[in-house]
Structure formats: C-alpha cells, structure tokens
Amino acid sequence: MADSAVTSGPVFPALTSISEEEQMFRASVRQFARDKVKPLARRMDEEGKFSPDLLREFFELGLMGIEIPEEFGGAGGSFFQCVLAIKELSAADPSAAVIVDVQNTLVNNALLRWASAEQKKRYLPRLAGNVVGAYALSEAGSGSDAFALATQAAAQGDHYTLTGRKLWITNAAEAGIFLLFANADPPAGYRGITAFLIERDTPGFRVGKKEDKLGIRASSTCELLLEDCRVPKENVVGEVGKGYKIAIETLNEGRIGIAAQMTGLARGALEYAIDYARERKQFGRPIADFQGVQFQLAQMAVDVEAARNMTYNAARLKDSGRPFVKEAAMAKLFASQVAERVSSVAVEIFGGYGFTKDYPVEKLWRDSKIGAIYEGTSNMQLQTIAKLLLGK
C-alpha cells in the first residue's frame, strides 16, 4: 500500500509532504525490507535472535548512521529519513526496525547533540561503521519514574566507579557501546544523574540475562550488570549532573521513532489483510466482496493514514527546530493504539489461519503490544499531552 504525499492541512501545510529525494530513500528501504528482511522475520522471531548478516547489511546501507555527518562516516541525512527507514523496516519486521531506531534516534542522536568533539571523533565513526549502540536508562525500580535510578557513580581520581543493574536494555546483546545513566550525586536526586559512554569490554561491566519476550523477539532485551565498573571521566557525556536533561530530550525525540515503528507495523498488517481478503473465498466469493470486510479494511486504512501523518508531522517539527514534544507524545500514543487495533483486526480477517504461526499477522499483533509500553507508556504520553495543553 503506497503512502500518499499530503500537501495541505489547517496548521502545518507542508510538514507531511515528501520530497523526491526522500521518496527515493523510502523506496530503497522498502525494497530492501521486502527482499531481505521479510523472508527472515519468522525464523528470527522463533529463534529470538537477529541475523548477524542482516545487521551487517544495515551498516553497509548506512541505516545505522543516518544522521551522522559524512565526516564521521555517516550518511549525513535527516531525522525525517530515520523515521522513514524505521517505518519501512517495521512493515516487514518491527524487530529489525527497533535496532535501527535505538541506534539512530537515541544513541546517535544523543551523541550528536551532547558529546564532546573528542567523543564524536572517537565513537561516531564506529557507530556508523560496524558497532551497535544501546541506551541504558531503565532499572527494576525505574520505569515510568525514569529518574529513580539506583545505579551509582562514585568519582575516584581520573575515573568513576559505577555499581548497579540495568533492565530491559534494547540492543544489549549486540551492542559494543552503551550510553548509560547513573547517579553521581544521590543526595541531589535527579540532579545527580549523569550520562556515561561505556564500552562492552570495560572491566566490571557485563551483559546479563536476555529476556524471553512476547513480541519483537529478534530484538535483544537484556540486563546489564555493573560491579565496580571503572569508567574514565572523559567518558562523561555532557556535564556531570545533566544526564536527566539528556535523557528527557533524547526520549522526546525517540518517541517519534516508536510512532514510526508502530505505523509501519500497522501498514504491514493492513497489506497482509488486503491481499488475503482478495484471495480467500467464502460462499463462492472473495471475502473482500463482502461489505463487512470492506468496512474493516477501510477503517484500518484510515487509522494507518492518520498515524502516518501524525508521525511525519512530529518528525518535520523536530527537524525544523520547532516545538514538537506534544506532537511526539500524540503520535506515539495514537500510532501504538493503531498498531494494536489494526493488527488485531488483521488476525480476525485471516480467521483461524490468523491465529496460527503459519501466517505473519499473529506476529505483528504480538509485536504491537510493546508500543504502549517502551519509551514512555501510553499513560505517560497522556500525562505529557495534558500538561502541555494546560500549560502546567
């Protein structure tokens, strides 16, 4: 199902339109997703492991460093292009998309904005070239209350000693570089939170148990263990005690990536449902001939289009330097709802087959559930939207 370019609207006339260059980029990622990602999706889901060969192709195509400047080996693209890539990959396999999403909208994005010149020179070429990044904020007692961090960082001479445990860290099994948040001044509360760059082979740092998940199973989610982990002071990102600002602002941008993931997932489910409705016959006719099914498909298409436009709008606002936090929260909230609803209806259209693993819609339905949870639950998005509406 092709995306249409919307060129008019009541508030932001051109924010959801697509340039010719962006259309070409989108088309190339879509073709790659269909040719290379989709055929591997079921096996990767069953094994709970992402294909190393496919990951290498992500780097070769420049998908892991879309916004990284060319001087550091990246593609020198825009945030909007990141959104396009995430959306297209998600239609084939949301697990593939989240790997690209975290790399670009969280890790790379944070370093581009907050890292020192020396840190950029050291880490960005690796992140663009062949090293996966992970964003380590969550802990057992720190989910929606992201700043109730228990991981501590004690200053000792030329380094910090970090001790604690992180949970639910995406990309952790493959990552070589971790942007990790710890509290360097616990009595100061969230004002002590500091961001650190940690390499996988750092003494005292270890990737622990990998979670066995309901959905996006090929995307790794692991715990991280820090036991007297020595991190040089030059690996502090930004300023000591300003990690909360990095975390908040990066996650605000990352939520647009999740909206793109959920929008792509919904489009993939809709495409499967349309194809199946044309082929499946009951009472001597394709089920697509029945008005009840037509109405279901039409509503699904409306939902997907609305989610796409909301996501594009938020991404354009971000790229143009305009306020976007409310729009990002709205897009993430709505797209996650659409993904769950559309994939569920797709399962119903497939009937009994939809409930089996022989067809892909049950996987998309399972994958959709995470959209209401990670990078800010739906309730947290509603709270953000309400506060901004009311000026609180």
Residues with a catalytic annotation lie at 375
Q: What is the dihedral of CA 241, 243, 244, 245, to 10 degrees?
A: 100
Residue bearing tokens 């493959």 = 174
Q: Are the C-beta atoms of residues 94 and 364 closer than 8 Å to each other?
A: yes
Give the residue from 65, 33, 43 showing the smallest Cα distance to 132. Answer: 65
CA-CA distance, 161 to 157, in Å (whole number)? 10
CA-CA distance, 154 to 146, in Å (whole number)? 20
Q: What is the Rg, in whole angstroms, of the alpha carbon atoms belonging to the chain? A: 21
DSSP 219: S
Give the residue from 309, 299, 324, 259 showing the smallest Cα distance to 5. Answer: 309
Q: Is 154 helix (H, G, I), strand (E, B) or coil?
A: strand
CA-CA distance, 111 to 122, in Å (whole number)? 11
Q: Is 369 helix (H, G, I), strand (E, B) or coil?
A: helix
Provide the 10 A C-beta neighbour count for residue 262. 34
Q: Is 234 helix (H, G, I), strand (E, B) or coil?
A: helix
CA-CA distance, 373 to 97, in Å (whole number)? 16
CA-CA distance, 235 to 176, in Å (whole number)? 15
